[in-house]
Amino acid sequence: MIVGERKPFEEIKQSIDGYKKVLILGCGTCVSVCMAGGEKEVELLASQLRMAYKLENKDVEIKEATIQRQCDKEYIEPILEMAKECDVVLSMACGAGVQMVADFVEPIPVIPALNTRFIGVTDAEGSWSEKCRACGDCILGKYAGICPITRCPKSILNGPCGGSQGGKCEIDRNNDCAWALIIERLGKMGKLKDLEVIEPPKDYSKAVSPKKVTI
């Protein structure tokens, strides 16, 4: 899933300074799971903004809505009328959602309330970690389902590096060395000999942006 986190409150408030009607638009999928942009987070941000504006004696109308996905036009269309009644949309979605909504509601500005961090997984309650960089040329099959591009800070394809010690990464000793994990898992699979084949430099041409897939 795409993991995001909310921007600091003061940054959000400053970004919508001067607007009189604000629609806070939540997204009910990825950023809802990581507790950054779902219905509850929309309610919380709306309450914070209303309280701040009341203390400043400012008359700002705050509307709230949460849709299933901001990256899919069929979910955006039902809230278009509401959006067009406002001066600005404050999107609590990933960057893809922000851009999709902006395409549909122009010339109304759409401002992000979140920072999109990475494609990741849930490690534990309230904890997420990056697992995929969407490089466009997946090599997980060779590396036992552990991505050296993402999980090694140096993105080494023929590792480990000389700085790894005790199964920990030299860049951050709190992180497991991706290559220690790869070697351990390939050993369990009886496939350590696969690493004797030197992997050539990765072809990053498939990662050139913007990417597009058409079926």
Residue 105 lies in a domain: yes
Say yes or no: 188 and 82 in one domain: no
Which stretches in the chain have pLDDT values below 70?
A: none
Residue 207 lies in a domain: no
Domain boundary among 63, 83, 118: 118
Say yes or no: 95 and 177 in one domain: no
Residue 166 lies in a domain: yes
Helix (H) or strand (E) run with residue 19 in it: none
Residue 191: phi, psi to the nearest 5?
-125, 25
Residue with tokens 């995929």: 132
Say yes or no: 158 and 80 in one domain: no
Residue 20 lies in a domain: yes
Helix (H) or strand (E) run with residue 90 in it: strand 88-92
Percent of the chain residues topping a pLDDT of 90: 90
Sequence-separated (6 or more) residues with CB below 8 Å from residue 77: 104
Say yes or no: 35 and 83 in one domain: yes
Residue 131 lies in a domain: no
Residue 90 lies in a domain: yes
> What is the CATH number for 78?
3.40.50.2300
Say yes or no: 146 and 82 in one domain: no
Q: Is residue 37 a contact partner of residue 92, using CB atoms and an 8 Å limit?
A: yes
Instruction: Break the chain down into helix, strand, coil percent, rounded to 5.
Output: 35, 20, 45
Q: Tens digits of per-residue pLDDT, 101-124? A: 999 999 999 999 999 999 999 999
Say yes or no: 85 and 18 in one domain: yes
Number of domains composing the chain: 2
Domain boundary among 89, 118, 147: 118
Say yes or no: 104 and 148 in one domain: no
Say yes or no: 156 and 99 in one domain: no
Say yes or no: 105 and 143 in one domain: no
Sequence-separated (6 or more) residues with CB below 8 Å from residue 160: 177, 178, 179, 180, 183
Residue 30 lies in a domain: yes
Say yes or no: 15 and 67 in one domain: yes
Say yes or no: 143 and 114 in one domain: no
- The residue range of the domain holding 164 is 136-199
Say yes or no: 100 and 184 in one domain: no
Residue 129 lies in a domain: no
Domain boundary among 91, 118, 145: 118
pTM for the whole structure: 0.88
- The verdict on whether omega for the bond into residue 107 sits within 30 degrees of 0, i.e. cis, is yes
